[in-house]
């Protein structure tokens, strides 16, 4: 119950109007601009993510710890653990949508909120990395990896 409540609160505080992506904003300003559309805009599904990566419009950032990333990973994601994100923010492309990912979305929501306050157009995947792996099963995975590696 507490975990579900915490995730709900994080989702609410992460929502932000699209026009604020270009500049840094305080967390207070971020929260005061919350509306329903911003809540919808902060999410991305696996199909839209894959399409955006193919088009060069999205950078996927796996924010799991190094040990988790080494155990299994998406070869097209950049690994920046959540606790290293402030120090490594310069590795992110300001001209792309930054999609933060982890298996269950709790850390990715925090990362997305942080990046939005720093002026990034950032989203998270409600299905997490597990949902993305399920989406890319079989032929979809082979096709995507072949296109990505070109």
Q: Distance between CA 28 and CA 70 in Å, rounded? A: 36
In this prediction, residue 34 carries a pLDDT of 78
Q: Distance between CA 118 and CA 108 in Å, rounded? A: 15
For the sheet containing 97-101, what is the strand order?
Answer: 78-79, 58-62, 97-101, 122-124
pLDDT digits (tens, 9 = 90+) for 105-133: 899 999 999 999 999 999 999 999 999 98
Query: 134 is written with which tokens?
Result: 């399920």
Report domain extents, the chain.
2-148
The proportion of the chain whose per-residue pLDDT surpasses 90, expressed as a percent, equals 54
Higher pLDDT, residue 17 or 52: 52
pTM above 0.85, yes or no: no
At the fourth CATH level, which superfamily is domain 2-148?
A: Rhodanese-like domain (3.40.250.10)
């Amino acid at each position: 119950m507490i975990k579900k409540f915490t995730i709900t609160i994080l989702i609410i505080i992460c929502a932000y109007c699209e026009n604020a992506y270009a500049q840094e904003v305080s967390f207070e300003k971020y929260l005061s601009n919350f509306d329903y559309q911003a809540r919808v805009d902060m999410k991305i599904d696996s199909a839209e993510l894959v399409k955006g990566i193919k088009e060069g419009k999205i950078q996927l950032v796996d924010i799991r710890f190094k040990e988790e990333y080494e155990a299994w990973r998406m070869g097209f994601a950049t690994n920046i653990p959540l606790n290293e994100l402030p120090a490594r923010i310069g590795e992110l492309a300001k001209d792309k949508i930054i999609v933060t990912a982890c298996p269950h979305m709790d850390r990715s929501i925090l990362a997305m909120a942080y990046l939005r306050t720093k002026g990034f157009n950032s989203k998270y995947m409600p299905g997490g990395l597990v949902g993305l792996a399920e989406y890319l099963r079989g032929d979809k995975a082979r096709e995507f990896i072949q296109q990505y590696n070109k």
